[in-house]
Structure 1
Amino acid sequence: MDNNQQFFQTILNHTSDVLMIVDRNRHIIYITPNVYESLGYRPEELHNRDGFDLLHPEDKENMLQRHHNLLTSKQSNTSEYRMIRKNGEVRYGECKTTPLPDTENYLQVVSIRDITERKRMELELEYHKNRHEVLQNSLKNFSNDLSFVMKHADLEERLIKELITILPNSNPTIMKIFPKNIHLSLGKMETVSDKVLIKIGERLQSPYIMSINASTIREKMESIWLETLAYYSMMVFENLNMIENLIQQLETATRSKETPQWVLRLMFNLQEQQRLTLSSDLHDTVLQDQIDLYRRLESLLNRYEIDKEVKTKLVGIEQGLLDIIHDIRVTCNNLRPPLLRELGLKRSLENLFEHIQVSSTYKITFTSEDLSMLPLSEEQTIGIYRIVQELLNHAEEHSRANEIKFDLYHEDHQLKLVYSDDGIGESSSSNHLRLTNVEQRAQSLGGKMEISLEPGCGLFAALQLPINLERSLV
């Protein structure tokens, strides 16, 4: 018997979990010596004390209710709560309580496991997931808004607004004087004293330098976000400079109200270049970071034994990361359709319609001739693809159509695209801008677009594009 007691005591002395026995009123009758390592108390200090004295005040009410339910149901339960060490440090604990209702004074056996590190890891993973979502949505909204920025002052205002929103207390400013004895490369982040500086461009021989408090950048992903934000701004800034110069040239060259074809072509080419750069940047930075975080979480789930409830939460986070990765890939594909040149126009449009059809409320009918022998340039291919995207956006947001039709064919040395829907045919300001953009896109390709929008008759649009037209920027 003495050997059995010694063996039992050895197990209690070396178990990682704290074991204790409490009575009906939660008074501690026995607790294992390892409570000293876990909470800083010696067993004799806790003898006859209420076990709930060790709980965080905010968790007591919930635990009192759980204890009452346990005594009533006579069923074991498991719960998580915060514990206060003797030195005041807060630790997370997971306890399993087994009632012994047939014992005198209704004893209960309590097993307490310190899960602080696991909890911190969960909170850190959740924080990084949420922060990634915030930063990703910020870049998405910012890049979308940049398409409406037409002046340097608008860009400056929008940039400052985004910095204040994502990095509170960053005190963002735009400096227009070069700092002394400091060389700043375009788009490169430099830390000077307590400031982070990024040069986003020059205008009228004055620099535009973004400045924020360095202390607000706490994570690598925030540095990547800031550099990406600056890069977006830098490209728009450069485009605004170019557009400003072109407008000055146009004002001296012509008073015509119609925008020249070469200007439209230039603007759309710049837009496509910007989209390509944004797509590549998202793919090579934000997307890769998300994939890396997902793989780390996947490895964690496969490598360690994790409580079922916690594992369920982590699997939920894992699925959330997969959704974010999917959304980023969709955004990249929208910015720059993959394999457009390799697949050709017809096949790429079929893939687009197949993808849209999954989530749309209208039926898409597409007919096309074999266009593989037509000498379509990459610019013409992407231009027609964008026109189709704009018409799909019209159908999604404005037409309320049940069916839309696309017909693509070659006739009289022209490529013709005919669109029709059975929608309501009503026009709004945003819809008018979208259709104007379609007309300008067609004009930039040297073609013309006939558009008819009548209430109750839906939208009819016909593109005629000469396929052998030689065009020049000058």
Structure 2
Amino acid sequence: MRKKYFFYISGLILISLQIWFSFLTFNVPFIGIELIQNQNKHWIINKLDSESNSLKLNVQRGDTILKINDDLPHLHKTVQKWHSIEQAQSITILRDGNEFNINLVDVNAAASTSILPFCGEVLAILFAILIYKKAGHTNSARLLALVFLNIGLTFSSVGASIRGDSLGKFFIIMFMLSLPIVFLHFLFAFLKERTQIQLPNLYIKYLYIIFSCISLLALPYFIPKYSYYFYQYSNQVVATSFSIGLLISFFFLIFAFFKYRKEKPYLSIIIKTVWWALTISFFPFIFLSIIPQTFFGGHWVNSLYTSWLVLFFPLSFAYLILAKKLYDIDLVLRRVLLNVALSIIPSIVLVTGHALIVQYHVTMQHVVFSFIFTVITITFILYSFEYFTTKLEFIIFPRKYYLNRAMKKIANNLCSISSFRELKEMVLVDIVNTLQVFGAAIVYKYQDRIETVIEGQISLPAIEGSADVEAWNYPSLLRFEINRHEEYTSYLIMTDKKTNTALSKEDMQWLNFIISYLAVSLENMHLIHKLNMRLQQLASQMPSEQSAQELVWFRKLMFELQEDERRRIATDLHDTTMQDLFFLKKRFASLIEKPEFPQQDIEQMKGILDYVEIINTNLRQNCFELHPHLLHEIGLINTLRKLVEHETPICPFQLEFMAQGAERIEDRDLDAKRHVFRIVQELLNNAKKHSLASIVSITLTAEGNNFLLVYKDDGIGLQAQSETSREIGSSGTGLEQMRSRILSLNGQLNIRKDMESGVYLSVTIPMRKVA
């Protein structure tokens, strides 16, 4: 609770300070006139700040200040505290015996003393919030956010400090002195988290105490009588303390490097990165601004500019942490250094050209600053070029973006393809549309046959002919080999583009990627097909009932796979071909109703319509045989009656079906009833193909706790047949397949072998209600 109140109170104080500092920065001009008192107690202009508005006024070094705001100079508060003129409305000067009255109210603040510090403050605080939100769960990230906050508050104090505000000068000293210690604290936490090194945090507390005591030396700033006495020495004390704080960080890094470099090689990479970041961040600020200002009385490059480089150190680590590239830090550094090296020559050319154009108004300070800013800008552009080109690829490289998107779609589709016929809808359509060709085909060339999948306008005989020869003599077609094995060879064959132009280099590169994906997918489909065939052979060739019982799980799995495949095929037929036939019937029916057609044409269309209806009826029956949905709706016995009603007109024998007292079979689960249906279906198919019978009867009865299915015919009887392999999705005809189904129901199969002709086969299935 105390921490919560402390947080709220601290936030309220910082917001209040921010409002006050912003008010001074944007409403009070930075005059920048420094004074010195001569032996006659007169106040003389000693220096004019190069970034101040004094350069726009009619004042010169050596002028005597007679009045400030119509009062004596020594009564003005900034003269008393800092020996400078700030927060004044008017001044009266004496030059060569002439008095001049200068109005200071309408003087505008320079951007370098108002906008730039405010932008630095906003940028630093936004980064602090971003890091705290994205990675605030780690101690190092929270301390890094505190580093950004410290920098932001330092920027916020700059505008008020240079305008002679006591609060601004006090807080800029406090924030500058705390910055090296917060940096060091962050390094301790960061190295502890990343390298598991236990570092002595007690020294950090002592450093906080020491630098806090040093910052208390600025308290006399609020007492005008003693302000200047402490102020004239404070710059040296603050600069020295700030430099000592950074030296402590460097010495700590040197100590950690030599102590742990052999135990933890990764630590050396991190420390080298920190060295570079600290050098880039603070070297210009200390050696170009602070030290010259402290010991030589003037900076070489204004601290308003070099202070921006202080953001480099925390920004680099913020990027590495948020982008999760910390463990690729050596690669990132190499990339940054390479981009810096590449940007130096263009920066020299640009800065030199700019200096030659405005040579009468440029100074060495502006040249140096422009060169540094240009190098940083070009380095950033080069480093982020890959990111922006990726994000804006659809604008910069639209064709490449379109091809990549099509490739991703095809790659995702290939993950779900399991059969050869699915290649058309999921691959060939995209290839044809992407490359804008008339048509394309995928060809499987086996030793004894050729299988093709076609999309678009392409000739099937030409495809089969082009795939059947090794020498290519079809100039209108393009052939690309996908796979070549002993068992088969696969090709991708395409027509010319619709624009009658050749495939570009970009298209060919894309097509090669697609072919490599297809090679893997087609090989997998071939192996899956072989595996399924082998599994089905194993399922239908059990050597004995005992071994079959041990593999009951395998039989059930195989039957489930077969049913799933049948259900999928039936659904595809219903949703595609049958729907197309339905719309075709509607179109013919609407044409027949039009009176402008001759009667002869109407009769022909009616004949076509009847033929379409026959196709639709056959397809509906095929769907029923593949997926007998009536089992769930009307039960097994009624479904078998529907099957017999459909088979009776087309069977070459008399078909009889009886069900006596077997209604209790409806209590069995749906899988069991589906197995019984498949057994009857297979018996009828075998009878039509092999029995040569005149009468076939199927009886379903109940005996005790068992169901009894009896099949009889007067045909030629069972004959030894050579075992033939069956394709996946076949109806599973054959005695062994029926035996596997019966065993999966814990049933028994009995065949009378003493009959000279005909077949008598009985199936016994135990009763068991669905759970």
The TM-score with structure 2 as length reference comes to 0.31
Higher helix share: 2
Q: Which has the higher relative contact order, 1 or 2, with Cα contacts under 8 A spaced 6 or more apart?
A: 1
* TM-score calculated relative to the size of structure 1: 0.48
Name the one with the larger strand percent: 1
User: Which structure has the larger Rg over C-alpha atoms?
Assistant: 2
